[in-house]
Copies of this chain bind each other. A is one copy, B any other.
Amino acid sequence: MSAVNRQCRLAARPSGLPERGDFQIADEPIAEPGDGEVRVAVQYVSLDPAMRGWMSDIPSYMPPVGVGEVMRAGAVGRVTASRHPRVEIGDHVTGMPGAQDHAVAAGDAVFKVDPAPAPLPTYLGTLGMTGMTAYFGLLDVGAATAGETVVVSGAAGAVGSATGQIAKIKGCRAVGIAGGPDKCRFVVDELGFDACIDYRSEDVAGALREHAPDRVDVYFDNVGGEILDAVLTRLAHRARVVICGAISQYNAPGGMRGPSNYMSLLVRRARMEGFLVFDYASRFSEATREMAGWLAEGRLTAKEDIVDGGVGAFPDALLRLFRGQNVGKLVLRVAGE
């Protein structure tokens, strides 16, 4: 356990792709929890595309991270001090403690996890917000049912890799879209998707004619931009387009690009719908139980891409995400288990 609390703070609001200078690494004394609070020694920090939005001064579903504040981040760690009646020292918990070594948080805002059945990083991925996003986005917002064709962009990423696997478990045809042959191989060979389109070398709309011959019933979109437009041309009657993210557009200097083919929603009587996973909080335990069962049965593969370097490596890890260099859930190791 380090003697100081190293933090990664937001130093400036980025324009386009975040740079190292947009962050500041700072050490401060380890704090003591107040009444009802706990202190967590962070072990793994989650890297998420949504972080780019939190760094911008644009009204959204959460207030932006203030300049000078610790970067907001999901993480898993071990409780080292507690003034909350239901949390004990030694408990493993997840929550949003931020990109720092030692976080003080409200005890009500952390959730105990059991390190026995799954490695801790899995609680940031398949058994965490990532998995919940895939589960509720696909099954609730997308209303995917057996026999339908599900297309997922960012298919080798955290949410995408879980989404396609859940689609397969539910009896759908799963077609991924990812960047590069290695990711596509991973998506098909290791995750069991029926096919994966390499958007860097293939024409996405053309490849969908081959791999989604009955058109696309559910499109789970993590990327936006040209890929969203391409899939819109191949929607099935009454298709559902699930808007989960738009990572291709978050750093676009000219601002977001809208889907110019959106009138296919009319031609196909289709809908495009957004969601936030937090709205499903009351059903997380139900979904996590089902996901853990699939993991235990070997029907679901949890893939984490763990990078080292501690809190000081947070900026580089985040850039890795926006450069599309991760395979599976990208996690920063802060301290060992």
Chain A positions near chain B (C-beta within 8 angstroms): 60-61, 224, 229, 243-246, 255-276, 279
Contacts A257-B258, A258-B229 given; indicate if A243 touches B263 (C-beta within 8 A): yes
Nearest-neighbor residue (CB-CB) of A250 within chain B: B263
Q: How many copies does the complex hold?
A: 2
Contacts A258-B258, A262-B259 given; indicate if A274 touches B269 (C-beta within 8 A): yes
Considering the chains assembled together, what is the distance between the CA atoms of A201 and B265 in angstroms? Answer: 30
- Chain A at the B interface: mostly helix, strand, loop or mixed? loop
Q: Which of B260, B270, B273, B275 contacts A258 (CB 8 A)?
A: B260
The answer to whether A269 touches B276 (Cβ under 8 A) is yes
12 contacts between A and B (CB under 8 A): A61-B266, A244-B266, A256-B262, A256-B263, A257-B258, A265-B274, A266-B274, A268-B274, A269-B273, A269-B279, A271-B273, A272-B272
Contacts of A244 in B (CB 8 A): 266
Considering the chains assembled together, what is the distance between the CA atoms of A274 and B263 in angstroms? Answer: 7
Contacts of A268 in B (CB 8 A): 274
Closest 3 CB pairs of A and B: A258-B258, A266-B274, A265-B274
Contacts of A271 in B (CB 8 A): 271-274
Contacts of A255 in B (CB 8 A): 260
Considering the chains assembled together, what is the distance between the CA atoms of A59 and B299 in angstroms? Answer: 40
Q: How far is the CB of A278 from the nearest CB of chain B, in Å?
A: 10
The answer to whether A243 touches B265 (Cβ under 8 A) is yes
Q: Which of B61, B256, B259, B260 contacts A267 (CB 8 A)?
A: B61
Q: How far is the CB of A287 from the nearest CB of chain B, in Å?
A: 18
